[in-house]
Amino acid sequence: MAQNVKTFGALAIASVKTVDGLAIASAKTIMGVDNTSAGGDTTFITSQSVGTDVSPLEEKGMKITVGVTPITVTELALWGNVGQYSTTILVYVRDSGGSSLGSVAVDTPSGSGVAGAYNWGTLSSPVALSANTVYYIMTAALAFNTVGSGGTSVTPTSAATVDDTAFGQPPADEGTLPNRCYGPLNFKYH
């Protein structure tokens, strides 16, 4: 019997057993096992539950507030979705007024990116984020490039909080729930 096991940035364990002639499948996903990359940077989002697909007509993303310790962002990422038709999509770090502090083009599944995983791009210059300050991580995945909806829930590290989903330019909060974002988007920092 063939098994189909998907992993979403986590370790997935699946098993199939037969009881009274019926196949019973079970799976367990372990999130956040190790979120430190080989270069010593830490991945901000440690687990995610991707919402339904939306095709945005404007920038979408998340509002974050950095904690008591400043951080430096080195890479940005967008979750690969089979509905992304451009081969690359821009991801930005924006300040609270909407100015771009840095951006990268990440590959999508239509290019050399991977569906069901974060696709990363390294910033040409790392971006320093001040303590106790609001920033926006946004994507310009516009029409015909689907992303996970604002119903996407995420678990961040303690370096910052995910305060709300965000949209537009300059970014505006949607007033939904904490630990929600479009994309989902992610970043690595030290």
Query: pLDDT by residue (tens digit) across 132-147?
Result: 999 999 988 765 556 7
Q: Cα torsion for 39, 35, 64, 165, to the nearest 10°?
A: 130
For the entire predicted model, the pTM comes to 0.77
Domains of the chain: 1-30 (no CATH), 37-189 (2.60.120.820)
Report, in angstroms and rounded to the nearest whole number, the Rg of the chain calculated over CA atoms.
17
Q: For 101-142, how does the pLDDT look when each residue is reduced to its tens digit (9 = 90+)?
A: 999 999 888 888 898 899 999 999 999 999 999 999 998 876
